[in-house]
Amino acid sequence: MAEGFDIDHLAKLARLSLTAEEKALYSSQLNQILGHFQALADADLPATIDDARVVNEDALRSDEPGLVLGAEAVTRIAPASRDGQISVPRVVDDES
């Protein structure tokens, strides 16, 4: 099947830096995966919601607050932190 994607664009969205060999390999593998999904999409099935994946409201959680990790534990698993917050490279959202 024709490629329904742009491997460079996908790599960029996934923040992956790929070599030419990897691009070729992953393109072919992704095509196989998409092929499987296309086969599923082509299957003649009733257009209803899959009951096997439907739960009723018993599967919901009650609104009871539980335990938290604490800022110390949260920041410990981050590469960098400061004053109880996770430190990241500057991201700018404000007026520039």
Residues that bind another protein (CB under 8 A): 9, 12-13, 15, 49-50, 53-57, 59-71, 74-75, 82-96
What is the closest distance, in whole angstroms, from the C-beta atom of residue 9 to another protein in the complex? 7
**Residue (8 or 22) nearer to another protein, CB:** 8
**What does DSSP assign to residue 60?**
S
- Give dist(CA 72, CA 65) in Å, integer: 20
Torsions phi, psi of 88, nearest 5? -130, 165
**Residue (36 or 90) nearer to another protein, CB:** 90
What is the closest distance, in whole angstroms, from the C-beta atom of residue 79 to another protein in the complex? 12
